[in-house]
Every structure is written in C-alpha cells, then in structure tokens.
Structure 1
Amino acid sequence: MLLLLLLPSALLLVPWAGAGRIIGGWEAQPHSRPYMAHLLIRNASHKFECGGFLIRPDAVLSAAHCVTGKKAVNTTVILGAHNLKKKEPSWQVFHVGHWVIHPNYSKDKKENDIMLLKLKPRAKLTKEVSYISLPRHNEQVKPNTTCKVAGWGWTSTTGDETSVLMEVDLKVLSEKVCENRFQKKYLHQSMICAGDEEGKKSTSRGDSGGPLVCNGKAHGVVSYGPKYCVFPKIFTRVSYFEPWIHEELRKFVLQDLPDSPSSD
C-alpha cells in the first residue's frame, strides 16, 4: 500500500478513469437502495452511463463530469431499477431537459464535481423509489467510518460488466492519505477520501455520480481516482455544497409556479 501512495503525482487523474463501477463488491438486494438512479447520457455518436441519487421527488444529485464536455443531446434517468436489462413495473423513466452544474466546476482541477438534474414530472414515491437524506452544512464523517457505494457496470479493471446493481463497503480515510496521494488536487473542505487499503474493493468506470452512504446519509458523490489504481477514491463532499443544493432546489420550485419562466 505504501507503494501506491508513493506513485508519482504526475499520474493522470481523469474522472472516467476508475470513477464509476463496483469492484470487489456483491449484488445488492433488489430495491434495497430505492434512491439509486441510473443516468444514460447520449450524444450524436456515443453514450455514457453514470449513477445518481434521488434527493427529492423532483431532483437527482450526480457528478458534473457526467455531462460536461459530452455535448449531450439526450439524458435519461431511470429510478426503481435493479437489473437494467429487465424492465420492471417499478421503473420510472425521465427524459431530463434541465440540469444545473456547479458554477465553479473545473474539469481540469476536478473541483466542485456536482450537479442537479430536474425531474419533470416529479417522481412518484413508492417502495422501490424514494429519496435519501443529505447531511447538514459542513457535517463531517469521521475517518475509519465504513460507508457503502452502489452502482451498475464493470466489476473489474478489465471491463467485466454486470446489469444488476452492485454494492461495496469502503472506509473513509484520513486526510493525510489523500493529501499524500493527490497533493494539491485534494481539497479536504469539499472532498472526501475513501477506499479499501488492501486494494480489493473500489468504485470503477461508470458509477460516477452515485452516493457514498455513511450513517444513512449521502455524504459523498463518486468523483474520480488515480488512472491505474483502485485506491484511493475521491468523492465530492455533499455537506460542503448544502447551501448551493438548497438554493438550486428553491429555484426548481419557483420554475414550477404559475407564470414563472421555466428553463426546461
């Protein structure tokens, strides 16, 4: 593990490199995570997949890098899914026309990697579809706390795939681990560092935007990691962005009032 920490900081860190699918995990109990959202982002020539999570009937939280630079022309959100290849009555499908990226998001610096997607119509809350609570502003999660991450897709670094929702346990790491590994790219105020020190469990390509769930709350958003390593991973710290989230959700409500301008 020391070797991993001493790898040159010049290694390219890109959001899509190992930032999204579950490695070393297990199949989640169907619909045990009713807040999970699957995002399918299409443009003229490609499609991209991400995770996300329902935080209110009209809003899904995800990672900004999922849409930035993709020239997306069509974004679909699926709620209530377990096996993406088996459509169930529990599915709720939304064609999203409006999303808000944090105004200070930086693709190069990997900062402020967070966005909100507006659902219209609002999701219907059911046993298979419900929202997850968010932490209070600047609420902290302590190092060594065991958290869970879930997502669809690759189950290995070589691209093995799964169509069912997978989950894995990851521990919140001390600030020092990620400061050593990522140096100035790691901002402890707005990021959480988590992973498996044995290097056997991780998120990987495609889960980006999914939640890091600690003590029943979505404390993190899957953001990025080192290109050729599964340890450690960086998550956007949700509690730091709580004021921004609250303000954008207020705007969502105002857009739905009679005679209010809508950006959908």
Structure 2
Amino acid sequence: MPEAATQSRTVPLQDGALELQWSAITHTGRRREVNQDAVLAEYPLFVVADGMGGHIGGEIASSRTIERLRAVVGKGEVTPKTIEKALARAVADIASHPEATDDGTGTTVTGVYLDTSTPEPTWVTLNIGDSRVYLFRDGGLAQVTTDHSVVQELISAGRLSPEEAENHPYGNVITRAVGPSDGVSPDYVRLEVQDGDRFVVCSDGLTKELTDYGILHFLLQHEDPTEAAVDMLEAALENGGRDNITIIVLNVRRIASSPAAD
C-alpha cells in the first residue's frame, strides 16, 4: 500500500482561523501497468488529474498538468486566471511530445482551492472531465462537480438513469479534457466555508468501485484524512481496482477568535 500522511495548515482569518488537515494517496490499481493519475495536495490547491492516451501519453498529460499547477501554488496566487494560464502551458507541454501523444491524449483536472482574496474566504471547485469533488456537510455527502462525459449528458437529457449509467458501454468516454489540441476552461463552483466540512477529490478509479454511500461510510468511520483515504483505496482494490485510483481527503475546522480580555 502506498505511503500517505496527514498534513495540516492553520489559515488566519479576520475573525479566527481555519484549521485544514488533508491526505492524498494514489495507486496503479490491479489491472493497469502504469499509473496515469497525478495528484497535487499543497495549500491552497488540491487537485487530481487522470490521464488518458497511449502507453505513456496519459502519464505525460496528467504529470505536466499537475506540475504547471504546482508552479501556480509556488507563486502564491491561485485564481481562475492563473489556473487557466497553467492549463494552457500544460496543453503546450503535451503537444511537445508528438512521439508519445495524439488527439486522444489528455487528462482530467479536478479539485478545490481556498480563495482568501476577499474578507470572507470561500472554496472554489474546478473541473474538466470526470474526476470528482464531493462535499461532506451536515452528515451528508454531495457531488459538487458535474462530469463531462457522454453518460452524464445522457442522464441530464433524461435518456439514462444513474443506475443504467453504472455499466454503460460509453462509461469511460469524456467530453472535455486538457489535451494537446484543445484549450478548455474548467467549470467553477464557489462554496461558503463551514466548520466541519470535508472534501473528497478523486479520479474515477475510485467511483467505479465505490458508491457515494461507500465514500460516506468511510468518512463517517474515520475522522483522520489518511485513515479515510487508505480505507477507501483498500475497498476500491478489493472491489476490482480496474483503473488507477487517486484520492484526496480534506478536513476543514473553523475556529472563532477568542473574546478580548477585559
């Protein structure tokens, strides 16, 4: 089992602080020879990229996308503008490997970042493809991102039920990706910051093997992000591990400032 460790960060706010804890883990799975997933879990940006393409093409796409986003974190200004500039650079990186990539090469990029540019911070999710961001809040789990996939389009059009979608032959076909010939922008969703929130960012290698209820089960069973992520991974492997599996679990605790002493 890959190593994973819980990391933490305290973010000062005008009226207190946020305590963040997170853990990230990735695994090749039981049927793939190469792990074409890549992961970035560095405050304030938490992202999963699931590459697709030839033997190394998908790996190039996901790793270059993550490295371009890592550079954004290093410069300290994570915004839609800086994210999209990084993705444009990743597209150029992918296209610069014609020997290993083609029009079918690309990667998902899905995640969440903390926006502290305003007095009241917010979370912002970003998504291209069919990796997912889930939010655990008030005891329930909700999928925040919407898959860019043929199956999701059929569900949205009322032509397919979620149950029918689980084994649909086009289940792996995505309609938007970061690739060598496409300049695409993510979908964004802004969320308020609440005490007790927990995020799960994952590639479809997890959701192919574990239902939303299963993800919720392991969050309820484990408060520690590493323990939750490792148990989700083990369950996904036990259920077949048909694809690469990547998981980030992020916990949010909001602390109010103490009243000033008299």
Scaled to the shorter chain, the TM-score interval is under 0.3
Find the structure with the greater CA-based Rg.
2
- TM-score (structure 1 length as normaliser): 0.26
- TM-score (structure 2 length as normaliser): 0.26
Higher relative helix content: 2
